[in-house]
Amino acid sequence: SWLPTPEAFGASAVSSIRAIYDHTHERFVVGATCTSPGLFAVSRACLAFCTPDFASCVAMNDFGPSTANPVLLLHDEGLLVVFSVFAGGSLDGAFFFRKCSVSSFECTSPSIVYNTTGHVFYSQFAADVALDATNGRVLIVLSEEGTGRPFLLGCELSITNCVASDISLDGTVNIA
């Protein structure tokens, strides 16, 4: 198979799979939503660092329960993982990020994605992430929960000072 098995993630099933290739370390970084085995199955965002043939993978599954849809961005400062939380309560659907080292397989504690006004973005859809290398910015596209309007967050590489822009055609387009 060209992707790791669910067992490589320590899971019984995987979905929302995204993979990128790390040329420096010659390995794939694979993000997925994993479902744990057992009577009380729990979904969580998970990562696997795999050899090019996927024969050997190192799984990292400490993203916590009720997390999903990890999106990966590899840049000079390491790996950025943006994911959403579906745990109920005030942060249900909020986007979080973690910075990870692809050489040591370690990640920072999760941090929430805010814009410069302190607004938390929630979405029922997975985000998408890109690197603006020219300006040294991370671009995150997501839809705002409730309105469904598409937003573009432009953030520093540290995911601070995020500026949000409504990118709907007339400010009322609903993509939900």
The reported pTM is 0.74
Kindly report, residue by residue over 35-73, the tens digit of the pLDDT: 876 666 677 888 888 899 888 888 876 677 777 778 888
pLDDT tens-place string over residues 78-131: 888 887 777 666 666 677 778 888 787 787 777 776 555 566 666 555 678 888
Rounded CA gap, 158 and 99, in Å?
9
The tokens 């080292």 sit on which residue?
101
**What are 109's two structure tokens?**
């504690």
φ and ψ at residue 55, rounded to 5 degrees:
-75, -25
Q: What is the pLDDT, as a whole number, of residue 96?
A: 77
Task: List C-alpha distances in Å: 30 to 51, 83, 102, 116, 141.
Answer: 11, 13, 11, 30, 20
